[in-house]
Amino acid sequence: MRIVGGSHRGRPLIAPPDRTTRPTTDRVREALFNMLLHSPSLMTDEGKSRLEAGIVLDPFAGSGALAFEALSRGALHAHLFEIDPAARRVILRNAADLGFGPQVTLRGADARNPGKPVEPASLVFLDPPYRSGLGTPVLAGLDREGWLRPDALVMVETDAKGSFAIPPGFALLEERQQGPARLTFLLKQPA
């Protein structure tokens, strides 16, 4: 596993040692970030990528690969949630190895009970365990607690045959299948 683009392109990432974490593959990450950088439907109203100076939220962080990829490509800060202690140690090691320590906030809390944010996110990577049913309630909870900016972009990853129930307050922008994954892009609607 490695960073596939940006200032840290090619730098290796370590993964948690057990099989409870399913990192997004390099190929899927590369496709995802190409969409974030080049798909007009995913840009801001000013035509910019949400990665530029963005605040990223990764509620099911695993190794932190999605957040680190975003930081490599211009995001300012990443907030990560991870309940597994071994995965948290991996995230901290990856952050230190990449020099991203000051740009990363790691919470050992369950994303279903996120608490109040320090700052709301402009870009969310929602990648729960496949077929867990956690995506919709976690997104609704993050929204309710104020973790999302009024125009936040949310990427939801499910398995290719999976589906995602879009909670109220979000609009579907785009959906694509990338190998074993389905990527669904939602836009937070202003209240």
- pLDDT over threshold 80, residue 19: no
Share of the chain above pLDDT 70, in %: 97
Give the mean model confidence (pLDDT) for residues 166-191. 90
- CA 119: distance to chain centroid? 16
Q: What is the pLDDT of residue 152?
A: 95
What is the residue extent of each domain of the chain?
6-17+25-188
What is the rounded end-to-end Cα distance, in angstroms, of the chain? 39
pLDDT at 25 over 80: no
Confidence class for position 86, pLDDT limits 50, 70, 90: very high
pLDDT at site 187: 96
Is the pLDDT confidence value at 21 over 70? no
pLDDT band at residue 113 using 50, 70 and 90 as cut-offs: confident
Q: How many CA atoms lie within 13 A of 39 on its CB side?
A: 16
Residue 67: predicted pLDDT: 96
Give the pLDDT of residue 23.
67
Digit-coded pLDDT (tens) for 129-177? 888 888 899 999 999 999 999 999 999 999 888 778 899 999 999 999 9
Model pLDDT, residue 2 = 87
Q: Could you tell me the pTM of the whole model? A: 0.92
Average per-residue pLDDT in the chain?
Answer: 90
Q: Tell me: domain 6-17+25-188, CATH 3.30.1330.200, correct?
A: no
User: What is the number of other CB atoms lying within 10 angstroms of the CB of residue 159?
Assistant: 14
DSSP string covering 92-110, please? HHHHHHHT-GGGEEEE-S-
Q: How far apart are CA 138 and CA 169, in angstroms?
A: 14
The two tokens of residue 173 are: 């922008």
